[in-house]
Amino acid sequence: MPRTFRFRACPLCEAICGLELQFEDDRLVAIRGDGADPFSHGHICPKGNAILDLESDPDRLTRPMRRIGVEWQAIGWDEAFAFAGERLAAIQAEHGASAVAAYLGNPNVHHFGHIAYLPALLRSLRTPNVFSASSVDQWPHQFVCALMYGHQFLLPIPDIDRTDYFLMLGANPVASNGSLMTAPGVAKRLKALTARGKLVLLDPRRTETAEIASEHHFIRPGSDAWFLVAFVQALARKGPARIAAYGERLSGFEAALAAVQEIDCADIEAQTGISATAIERLAGEFMAAPSAVAYGRMGVSTQAHGTLCQWLLQLANLYSGNLDREGGALVNESAIPVTGPGTSRGQRGRWRSRVRGLPEFAGELPVAALTEEMTTPGQGQVRALLTCAGNPVLSTPDGRELAQAMGKLEFYLAIDVYINETTRHADLILPPASPLSQYHYDVIFNAFAVRRVARLNVPVRERAADERADWEIINGLGAAFAAATGKSWQALPPPRELIAAGLAQGGSGLDIAALELAPHGLDLGPLRPSLLARLETASGKIEAAPPELLAELCSLAIADRKTTGLRLIGRRDVRSNNSWMHNAPRLVKGKARHQLLMHPDDLAARRILDGARVRVRSRTGELVTEVVASDEMMPGVACLPHGFGHGYDGVQLARARQLVGESYNDLTDPLAVDALCGNAALNGLPVEVEPA
Ligand SMILES: Nc1nc2c(c(=O)[nH]1)N[C@H]1C(S)=C(S)[C@@H](COP(=O)(O)OP(=O)(O)OC[C@H]3O[C@@H](n4cnc5c(=O)[nH]c(N)nc54)[C@H](O)[C@@H]3O)O[C@H]1N2
Ligand SMILES: Nc1nc2c(c(=O)[nH]1)N[C@H]1C(S)=C(S)[C@@H](COP(=O)(O)OP(=O)(O)OC[C@H]3O[C@@H](n4cnc5c(=O)[nH]c(N)nc54)[C@H](O)[C@@H]3O)O[C@H]1N2
Ligand code: SF4
Ligand SMILES: [Mo]
């Protein structure tokens, strides 16, 4: 049989590695890293290979599925669209636009046919109740960039390949493959960095990344804001701020610095676990390095002071002159622009959530408020839900409570490929065809990449006649909803046309023909300073001291500094992808990875044996699991991965269901949010552990 080789970027994580897909006729038979990809240079992780499992997964849906009681029935596409349009329209006609909510999950950013088409559908629904995985993840990054630089996506990325000194907090790129830093083969890049300079990592667990770092410090969960205050204060003792290059374009820097200086850091070691002497030395090294960058990810964003952390990180880069500088933190100039005219700058506070009054950001409300919007009666109560590529029952705070609430919805429509912990509640599931059968351009990840790269992904296999592409599904729903409400609907053109239009809007000079001639993608060179020229603040300047952040700093100063008691944090494994890839046999074979990790001293203090079953309790929930003694853990910190908990009735994931493991988010507290932007504080959760 003839073997053909086709190329495209992996659709599974932010690293967007180039893959070489080998077909026999139209059957995918093998996958390798694409050695000719100028960005990923042949890198592939176990998930890339697991595309073989995903493509042949018998549990993956291909036709619309309607649920009647506990039975699922395959129905036709036209019937499905009409049913969805009529139900959504009827519920809004009776209860108002707010009665329909939407939740968009992480894979939306990996599919052009989702991310470019959903906004039009959401606009037509006119609901204030739009939620996404961004508010259990990177909202603090976007929020701070919107305040300081005037656009949520003027988001500086570490110049990992050129920096001499990388101060990293709350990220584990060796397991996660990098995040808000699209850097395929990140371990190799970090090893090159430690050969020429230094990688310093602050994490409550000695992670896979800690193993290759030059230096690792344990830090008390949730205490990063205090560490960063002390760090910026220490920078100021090393010499004057190197801000000459920003000149007139920098506003409020003195005020920001003065506010930071006012915070009392006398007890810093007790609060953070890191000594004043160590902080002094790190600050000295940061200032002395030819180039340096401070970066914090999930671990520092999903905590009560996440937004403050992201601001203090920007201040550290500014103080040392590394913002918008080679080897420091730079904003990518992506070929399809995500900033500038016609893009969403990240406005905030235009409306508030009905029950708790949490403010809107970038057109969305914090997902920590979703369940209460469904369960609290009154005008505006959510009675119908649309999820697209999301599994909030396993991924958002107090998922068990959300699952209860979902059972009571009047209508639930899912655009998803599985019947899982969330979608088992759906009245209708619309499954898109495989991403391999569709045009795709990584709008978001190219914009957050550590080099300027561009790549068009063309379909590498045919889709069956009775399958629908994701963008066709969204267009179909839009048309059906419009028909049911008597409004008009302007269908968007196919992806290839939209991608071409996006390229034409950017300044790269590339067009779709050029990209079609480059099946391995194009490398346009390293990042370049561009932030100063692109600022979108009203003043046209970097706003170093936004009033909201100064106020938040004051509340930090008077916040409870005690971080005693056991705290829970999460972890990722290189073979995981949030909650949804446990059905891939290649990824779940081998030893179990669901266990709670705790320091041996913490176990001894509780008279718990290594391997025992333990009960973990939080303010809002509890679960029972096995514990493993591990000196990877900082004493006083327990660690549990998220994305497990496939035991719910009705989940149709044959392989995943065999996995032991409970859901971290049965413990998380919807009231624990970042005070400024409402992002969920998933990490640093107070818990108690006892023998089960
Ligand atoms: N405790 C804790 N909770 C966390 C985190 C944590 O670190 N700790 N991490 C958070 C983060 S960073 C994120 S991003 C969120 C993720 O939160 P979610 O996005 O809600 O969760 P996922 O597990 O990524 O779910 C992806 C869904 O997309 C479906 N899917 C897969 N491929 C496709 C496709 O091609 N099309 C469509 N339509 N559907 C598809 C899957 O079946 C699944 O239902 O979880 C957050 N939750
Ligand atoms: N294999 C795999 N890769 C993934 C994913 C996956 O599920 N599996 N998910 C993808 C997604 S959606 C995202 S957003 C990215 C996330 O990518 P990363 O941000 O790198 O995510 P994590 O691996 O969760 O790393 C967070 C680290 O923060 C630490 N931490 C927890 N609490 C604190 C704290 O209070 N302070 C400090 N300093 N550290 C803390 C944790 O121990 C952990 O090592 O990964 C993406 N890539
Ligand atoms: S690192 Fe990410 S993009 Fe690369 S192969 Fe693995 S899952 Fe795919
Ligand atoms: Mo994420």
Provide the pLDDT for residue 538: 98
- Report percent pLDDT > 70 for the chain: 100
682 lines ligand 1 (CB under 6 A): yes
Q: Is 207 exposed, middle or buried (0-12, 13-18, 19+ CB in 10 A)?
A: buried
Q: Which atom of ligand 3 is nearest to the CA of 48?
A: 5
Which of 558, 588, 613 is the last residue in one of the domains? 558
Query: If we measure between CA atoms, which residue out of 198, 195, 215 comes closest to residue 206?
Result: 215
Domain that holds residue 493: 65-136+338-440+456-520
- Beta bridge partner(s), residue 429: 65, 414
Question: What is the Å distance from ligand 2's center to 448 Cα?
Answer: 17
pLDDT band of 564, cuts 50, 70, 90: confident
Query: Which ligand ends up closest to the CA of 225?
Result: 2
Look at the chain and report how many structural domains it folds into.
4
pLDDT band of 484, cuts 50, 70, 90: very high
Query: Which ligand ends up closest to the CA of 575?
Result: 2
- 238, 277: one domain: yes
- 376, 478: one domain: yes
Per DSSP, the three-state class of 629 is: strand
- Beta bridge partner(s), residue 294: 167
Contact between 590 and 248 under an 8 Å Cβ cutoff? The reply is: no
| Overall average pLDDT of the 165-179 stretch | 98
Provide the pLDDT for residue 68: 97
- 175, 315: one domain: yes
- 44, 185: one domain: no
| Overall average pLDDT of the 560-588 stretch | 93
Residue with token string 């914009």:
447
CATH of the domain at 44: 2.20.25.90
- 9, 81: one domain: no
Entry field: residues in the chain: 692
Distance, CA of 7 to CA of 564 (rounded, Å): 51
pLDDT band of 2, cuts 50, 70, 90: confident
Contact between 213 and 200 under an 8 Å Cβ cutoff? The reply is: yes
Residue 148 lies in a domain: no
Upper half-sphere CA count for residue 106 (Cβ side, 13 Å): 19
| Residue-wise pLDDT tens digits, 361-376 | 999 999 999 999 999 9
Residue 409 lies in a domain: yes
pLDDT at residue 491 above 90? yes
Distance, CA of 654 to CA of 493 (rounded, Å): 37
48 lines ligand 2 (CB under 6 A): no
- 35, 88: one domain: no
172 lines ligand 1 (CB under 6 A): no
CATH of the domain at 287: 3.40.228.10
Residue 142 lies in a domain: no
Question: What is the Å distance from ligand 4's center to 136 Cα?
Answer: 7
| Overall average pLDDT of the 498-515 stretch | 96
Please name the helix (run of DSSP H) or strand (run of DSSP E) that holds residue 277, with its range, or none. helix 276-288
pLDDT at residue 561 above 80? no
Residue 676 lies in a domain: yes
Neighbours of ion ligand 4 (CB under 5 A): 137
Provide the pLDDT for residue 563: 65
- 330, 342: one domain: no
Q: Which amino acid is present at 580? A: W
- 342, 329: one domain: no
- 348, 420: one domain: yes
pTM equals 0.98
Question: What is the Å distance from ligand 2's center to 100 Cα?
Answer: 31
- 279, 353: one domain: no
Q: What average pLDDT is seen over the chain? A: 97
CATH of the domain at 463: 3.40.50.740
- 197, 327: one domain: yes
| Overall average pLDDT of the 670-680 stretch | 97
pLDDT at residue 474 above 90? yes
| Residue-wise pLDDT tens digits, 598-643 | 999 999 999 999 999 999 999 999 999 999 999 999 999 999 999 9
